[in-house]
Amino acid sequence: MPLNNRRDFLKLVYNLSIAGSAIPLIIPTKAYANSSPAFNNYKALVYVSLAGGNDAFNMVIPTNTSGGNSYNNYKSIRPTLAVKNIDLSTHLVTDANGNLDLTGGNPYTKHKPATAWLENADTYLAGFYPVNGTNVAINGVMPEVAHLMNTNKLAVIANVGTLVEPTTKTEIINETVKLPIYMFAHNHQSRIQQTGQADNKSIEGWVGRLYDEWSGVNGTDLLGNNASFAGYSYTLAGKTVEPLTMPTTPEGFQSRTQTDMREELYNLNEVNPFLNLYNRMINRSFDLSSKIANVWNNAYTYSSTDAYGGSLFSIPSRDYLQLKQSPDGTLIEQLEAVSKMIDYGRNNGIKRQVFFVELPGFDSHGSQLENHPKYLRELSLALSKFQTAMEELGASDEVTTFTLSDFGRTAASNGDGTDHAWGGHNLVMGGAVKGGMVYGQMPDLTPGGNQDYGRNGRIIPAISVDQQLSTLTKWFGVEDTLIEKLFPNISNFDSTTYGRDIGFMG
């Protein structure tokens, strides 16, 4: 394909974009080697986005026997969506090594005659797993999460949401408190969680700004850059740093078509500066693609199995899960890819990494009984598989995984689901987590009550997302003065019960 004119060049660019569709890499312009902290160990944060707004009130269920945060109040508010008050814990079987064993069946199907698949609603509302020493239980479709809680590897952060400052209903009514911008809007609420400032969606992501400050922390290895396996992540982008945006299965990067085009680009030397620049960019892309393919091809092979006895990162079929609508494995595949990058990083001198993954589908205005259990089931499977992988790698204490969602959902049902709201519950997992506990208080879900922003159970958060992220970044090695830069409103919470450190990290 001789490049005789502008049209030929544009055609080549288009062909490159098509060929690159199998490897949608956004390449950082360089790996930085400026001043940064001198860490002598490895740590990683894994940000799991539950896109759409997770109904956390059906993920973590209150078990108190009285009051606004009791099970009875929860059930009376959402009678058609309430998980049954049935303890499924006796069906959480473990093997001789203490690992969850589901080879004999799923706890959430024990109430039904044995069939190949059950309606998702039958499993979603079947019952729950009370967590010892707490006033909460985990939804029955999440046996792995319940087991992680029971083994102190996972904790719940209760009633978290975007806040500019501590907020009460009285202050909202009197208009004496500053509220987050664009309340209840998916894109804006996600963005301000990504910026780390609930009243500013225009600054760069908090992780990107951190690595603007830590520009040389991982040396010059491009695989030391932070990475997203769920498309471009605003969280990871700074003023001077850009993340890797990667597919989960980058095999065959160097196809024959790409090789031909690379040779063609090589012949562009001295044509004009723009073509030479594009040449260098594409060649760097191919070089990085080859490096990633090599990492994938030589990845660690796990001997551990999942709770069904399958290979660790396999996606269980619906015959195993007994769900009529089963997960597609999106999050499992992303976390498998993260595990490969972590294995590479900790064995190649990389010190600090942040990974972004996402499970979409949580916007449950309708058909919640059919759809929400499918996503909760995948979240539970994926977290368990990933934690097992980290333990086998010896990296459990070095890797902390956490969830965030756009916002919570209404305590009251709209008849077929739940609507956009505010506070919800998040999960945090890892060997360094003080697990088996609930941090914060389960809220009073009463519609129109003291913790309701309106009348349908839009619960006002008691803990800010900033406090959750401040706790995580402190463990990550970020100094307090830099935490204040990343989360400019964090000082507003210094006088609250938890302050800047909620206490869930060891």
Look at residues 289, 231, 276, 318 and name the one whose alpha carbon lies nearest to residue 51.
231
Q: With both helix axes pointing from N to C terminus, report the angle between 143-150 and 368-393 in degrees, rounded to the nearest 10.
A: 40
Task: Please state, in angstroms and rounded to a whole number, the distance separating the CA atoms of residues 461 and 451.
Answer: 8
At 266 the pLDDT is: 53
Question: What DSSP string runs through 195-263?
Answer: HT-TT-SSSPPHHHHHHHHTTTTTTT-GGGS-EESSS--GGG--SS---EE--S-----S-HHHHHHHH
Q: Residue 207 in contact with residue 225, Cβ under 8 Å?
A: no
DSSP class of residue 458 equals: -
Least trusted range by pLDDT, from 112-121, 279-288, 317-326, 381-390? 279-288
pLDDT digits (tens, 9 = 90+) for 165-214: 999 999 999 999 999 999 999 999 999 999 999 999 999 999 999 999 99
At 111 the pLDDT is: 79
Sheet architecture: strand order including 128-130:
60-62, 136-139, 128-130
In this structure, which amino acid lies at residue 1? Answer: M
At 114 the pLDDT is: 62
At 427 the pLDDT is: 98
Helix (H, G, I), strand (E, B) or coil at 487: coil
Q: How confident is the model at residue 249 (pLDDT cuts 50, 70, 90)?
A: confident
At 23 the pLDDT is: 42
At 264 the pLDDT is: 52
Look at residues 355, 426, 412 and name the one whose alpha carbon lies nearest to residue 54.
426
At 452 the pLDDT is: 96
pLDDT at residue 7 is higher than 60? no
pLDDT at residue 263 is higher than 80? no
Domain ranges of the chain: 6-493
- Per the structure block, which two tokens stand in for 425? 């519950």
pLDDT digits (tens, 9 = 90+) for 59-94: 999 999 999 999 999 999 999 999 999 999 999 999
Task: Give the β-pairing of 424-429 and 399-405.
Answer: antiparallel
The reported pTM is 0.91
Mean pLDDT for all residues in the chain: 89
Q: Name the phi and psi angles at 250, rounded to 5.
A: -85, 60
Angle at 206 between CA 200 and CA 207, to 5 degrees: 160
Q: Which residues pair with 139 in a beta bridge?
A: 128
pLDDT at residue 430 is higher than 60? yes
At 35 the pLDDT is: 60
Q: Is 216 exposed, middle or buried (0-12, 13-18, 19+ CB in 10 A)?
A: middle
75's enclosing H/E stretch is helix 71-77
Beta-carbon count within 10 A of 65 CB: 9
Q: How confident is the model at residue 16 (pLDDT cuts 50, 70, 90)?
A: very low
Question: SS in 3 state form for 327-361?
Answer: CCCHHHHHHHHHHHHHHHHHCCCCCEEEEEEEECC
pLDDT at residue 485 is higher than 90? yes
Q: Residue 383 in contact with residue 336, Cβ under 8 Å?
A: no
Angstrom CA distances, 300 to 118, 224, 296, stand at 36, 18, 9
pLDDT at residue 1 is higher than 50? no
Q: Averaged over 290-303, what is the pLDDT?
A: 89
Q: How confident is the model at residue 289 (pLDDT cuts 50, 70, 90)?
A: confident
At 248 the pLDDT is: 85
At 17 the pLDDT is: 43
To which residue do tokens 């938890």 refer?
Answer: 498
In this structure, which amino acid lies at residue 32? Answer: Y
Q: How confident is the model at residue 402 (pLDDT cuts 50, 70, 90)?
A: very high
Q: How confident is the model at residue 273 (pLDDT cuts 50, 70, 90)?
A: low
Task: Give the β-pairing of 154-161 and 399-405.
Answer: unpaired
Q: How confident is the model at residue 19 (pLDDT cuts 50, 70, 90)?
A: very low
pLDDT digits (tens, 9 = 90+) for 100-125: 999 999 999 987 766 667 888 999 99
Task: Give the β-pairing of 424-429 and 154-161.
Answer: antiparallel
DSSP class of residue 29 equals: S
At 222 the pLDDT is: 81
Look at residues 382, 219, 390 and name the one whose alpha carbon lies nearest to residue 313.
382
To which residue do tokens 């900790």 refer?
Answer: 346
In this structure, which amino acid lies at residue 247? Answer: P
Least trusted range by pLDDT, from 160-164, 189-193, 199-203, 265-269? 265-269
Task: Give the CA dihedral 419, 420, 424, 427, nearest 10 degrees.
Answer: 100
Q: Residue 463 in contact with residue 159, Cβ under 8 Å?
A: yes
Q: How confident is the model at residue 9 (pLDDT cuts 50, 70, 90)?
A: very low
